[in-house]
Amino acid sequence: MTAPATRVRRRAPRRRLLIRVDPERIQLDLIRDTLRLSEPATWLRRAEDIEWAAPRPGDFTGRANDAGLELRRQRCQLKALNCRRHAWLLKDPEPGTPIPDELLGGNWAPDWGIA
């Protein structure tokens, strides 16, 4: 009686993943991101996106309760307001220029009761 044939599994040769870091590319991306974030239009678009993401009546809410949805809506409104404030500051207003009324409302950094 012969012994049962055993299969020998051969592994494919492991290939090393070579990650090539291009410091010039990283530097250019960093400069590009910095310049983009220094434009008021970027912050205004961000404010619009955040307002769009806020919960609205008629949205599917799953298991969220009304208090949680209201808290999330308030957070989105405050974040959008802060983005608009950021954009206004980047427009480089002259010293002594009053802050527009629409940017004065709301607390700048409320305590949400989250540890």
pLDDT tens, residue by residue, 25-79: 999 999 999 998 899 999 999 999 999 999 988 888 889 899 999 999 999 999 9
In this structure, is the dihedral angle defined by the CA atoms of residues 71, 74, 79 and 85, taken in order, positive or negative?
negative
- Specify if 21 maps to a domain: no
- Specify if 74 maps to a domain: yes
- Specify if 76 maps to a domain: yes
- What does the pLDDT read at residue 72? 92
Q: What is the mean pLDDT of the chain?
A: 83
- What does the pLDDT read at residue 44? 95
The model's confidence at residue 95, banded by pLDDT at 50, 70 and 90, is: confident
Residues 12-21 have a mean pLDDT of 71
- Specify if 111 maps to a domain: no
- Specify if 114 maps to a domain: no
Q: How many domains does the chain have?
A: 1
Range of the domain at 67: 42-103
Q: Looking at 16-25, 65-74, 76-85, which range is the least confident one?
A: 16-25
